[in-house]
Amino acid sequence: MVKFGVIGCGAIHSVHCDALQKIAGATLSGVFDLVPEKGAATGSKYGVPSTETLDELFSMVDAVTICVPSGLHAEVGIQAADAGKNVLVEKPIDVSIEAASRLINACEQNGVKLGSISQHRFSKSVRRLRHAAQSGEFGTLLEGDAYVKWYRTQKYYDSGDWRGTWQLDGGGCLINQGVHYIDLIQWIMGGVKSVQAQVRTAAHDIEVEDIANALIEYKNGATGVIQGSTSFYPGLAERLEVHGKHGSVILEGDKPKLWKIDAEAAAEGLYGGGVLMQPTPSLHLHDQTDEVANAVNDPTALWGEQHRLQIEDFALSIVEDRDPEITGRMALEPLKVILAIYESSRNGGARIVIQ
Ligand SMILES: NC(=O)c1ccc[n+]([C@@H]2O[C@H](COP(=O)([O-])OP(=O)(O)OC[C@H]3O[C@@H](n4cnc5c(N)ncnc54)[C@H](O)[C@@H]3O)[C@@H](O)[C@H]2O)c1
């Protein structure tokens, strides 16, 4: 039984606490928040101690999940690593490469596991799409697009001092909201080589961007688009669109809207069988594998379930002494893309090559 502590009892922490109650090999053993009343409320809700100090929490657990503001992830994570605790940190890993690298080094030096949440990687349809992209099903990969056109009110940004700040949020709609799908598209396509971007603050009274548009070049030569926003009422389901020489896949809200890969049909006649005007799951998924068709009803798309799967994998990585599925080093990749987008925008849309 791996004993977990949850640090930071704000908006996301209950997803972690609820998940820990459903994982056979893990248990929630304690919680801590800088604001004692918040820790106490969570402690009494879940029937576990809320400690007065981090050290007290560390003395009763094997691992912690970190749910504090993004720009404090490394600072808190390093304290946990130095105390010999395994660290699962919320996304993004931190807001700078320097801080994230310090956290990675501290975990490596202390011989503890480090994972970073990117729960949509546990969606069945996302995993199936990555397999299709990386196993050559698409033929040559041509394009990978991620659209995260969400909506947040000014009240959302005013609900926490850290929200919408460079120092603690690290940016706006890309690093806080878009990071999920930026991680997915870079993972599916096999890594980003360069970006050219424009970001702006258009609809909120905040320091950071609430609209972002970026042109992407992937390491394999494919191109793509990343669009992020927290300005577009009412907020749309996020989309991933992947195109290769042999077909196209669209996921919306982690579910397939279109899954059409067919090397022979793609080479037919002059137009490859015509244009799909209204792709619908019923029309265009029936001729694909059951595995893909079943993903339309993907149970992992339910809120909270993907966190449960990732926290379960992290607990198992401790028991089995292996890397978790999403390591700290993997979490550097979406952060690099986002920071390169900001750099490009600051430099008039210049092409920034990612190191
Ligand atoms: N994976 C997801 O889908 C998802 C969703 C929401 C938030 N998040 C991430 O979770 C993190 C927290 O976001 P939130 O919306 O829950 O924020 P929040 O402001 O609602 O909660 C943060 C909590 O941390 C506490 N805190 C601050 N500094 C602390 C410290 N040094 N030690 C202990 N507690 C401290 C605050 O008192 C507060 O209760 C962010 O990094 C965010 O990006 C992830």
- Domain covering 123-297: architecture: 2-Layer Sandwich (3.30)
**Parallel/antiparallel/unpaired status of strands 26-32 and 2-7:** parallel
Cα of 67 vs centre of ligand 1, distance in Å, is 4
Cα of 164 vs centre of ligand 1, distance in Å, is 13
**91, two tokens:** 């996304």
- Atom number, ligand 1, closest to the C-alpha of residue 117: 1
- Domain covering 2-116: architecture: 3-Layer(aba) Sandwich (3.40)
For ligand 1, mutation pick of 12, 45, 55, 66 (most atoms within 8 Å of CB): 12
- Atom number, ligand 1, closest to the C-alpha of residue 39: 39
Please work out whether the CB of residue 80 comes within 6 Å of at least one atom of ligand 1: no
Cα of 68 vs centre of ligand 1, distance in Å, is 3
Cα of 261 vs centre of ligand 1, distance in Å, is 41
CA separation, residue 113 to residues 81, 95, 108 (Å): 9, 20, 8
Give residue 265's pLDDT: 87
Cα of 145 vs centre of ligand 1, distance in Å, is 28
Look at ligand 1, atom 21, and give the residue with the nearest C-alpha.
10
Q: Rounded to an integer, what is the distance from CA 165 to the centroid of its chain?
A: 20
DSSP single-letter state for residue 178 = I
Cα(90)–Cα(12) distance, integer angstroms: 9
**Cα four-point dihedral sign 278, 279, 283, 284:** positive
Indicate where the chain has its CATH 3.30.360.10 domain(s). 123-297
CA-atom Rg of the chain in angstroms: 21
DSSP output for 60-85: T-SEEEE-S-GGGHHHHHHHHHHTT-
Q: What is the pLDDT along the chain (355 residues), one digit of tens a residue?
A: 999 999 999 999 999 999 999 999 999 999 999 999 999 999 999 999 999 999 999 999 999 999 999 999 999 999 999 999 999 999 999 999 999 999 999 999 999 999 999 999 999 999 999 999 999 999 999 999 999 999 999 999 999 999 999 999 999 999 999 999 999 999 999 999 999 999 999 999 999 999 999 999 999 999 999 999 999 999 999 999 999 999 999 999 999 999 999 998 888 888 776 666 555 544 445 445 555 555 555 666 678 999 999 999 999 999 999 999 999 999 999 999 999 999 999 999 999 999 9
DSSP output for 278-338: S--HHHHSTTS-HHHHHGGG-GGGSTTHHHHHHHHHHHHHHHTTS--SSBHHHHHHHHHHH
Please work out whether the CB of residue 10 comes within 6 Å of at least one atom of ligand 1: yes
Q: Rounded to an integer, what is the distance from CA 6 to the centroid of its chain?
A: 19
Instruction: Write out the H or E segment, with its range, that includes residue 340.
Output: helix 328-346
With 0-12 / 13-18 / 19 or more C-beta atoms within 10 angstroms meaning exposed / middle / buried, residue 349 is: middle
Cα of 13 vs centre of ligand 1, distance in Å, is 7
**169, two tokens:** 């949020």
Name the phi and psi angles at 130, rounded to 5.
Answer: -60, -40
Please work out whether the CB of residue 142 comes within 6 Å of at least one atom of ligand 1: no
Q: Rounded to an integer, what is the distance from CA 48 to the centroid of its chain?
A: 29
Cα of 128 vs centre of ligand 1, distance in Å, is 31
Give residue 287's pLDDT: 47
Please work out whether the CB of residue 119 comes within 6 Å of at least one atom of ligand 1: yes
- Atom number, ligand 1, closest to the C-alpha of residue 68: 24
Indicate where the chain has its CATH 3.40.50.720 domain(s). 2-116
Please work out whether the CB of residue 35 comes within 6 Å of at least one atom of ligand 1: yes
**Cα four-point dihedral sign 156, 211, 219, 243:** positive
Cα of 307 vs centre of ligand 1, distance in Å, is 15
Instruction: Residue 142: name the closest of 251, 261, 276 by CA.
Output: 261
Cα(88)–Cα(77) distance, integer angstroms: 8
Please work out whether the CB of residue 15 comes within 6 Å of at least one atom of ligand 1: no
What residues contact 275, with CB distance under 8 A and at least 6 apart? none
Please work out whether the CB of residue 159 comes within 6 Å of at least one atom of ligand 1: no
Cα of 353 vs centre of ligand 1, distance in Å, is 31
Cα(124)–Cα(121) distance, integer angstroms: 8
For ligand 1, mutation pick of 32, 88, 90, 162 (most atoms within 8 Å of CB): 90
**164, two tokens:** 């919408």
3-class secondary structure per residue, 116-177: ECCHHHHCHHHHHHHHHHHCCCCCCEEEEEEEEECECCHHHHHCCCCCCCCCCCCCCHHHHH
CA atoms within 13 A on the CB side of 44: 5
Please work out whether the CB of residue 7 comes within 6 Å of at least one atom of ligand 1: yes
Cα(278)–Cα(260) distance, integer angstroms: 13
**230, two tokens:** 């927290």
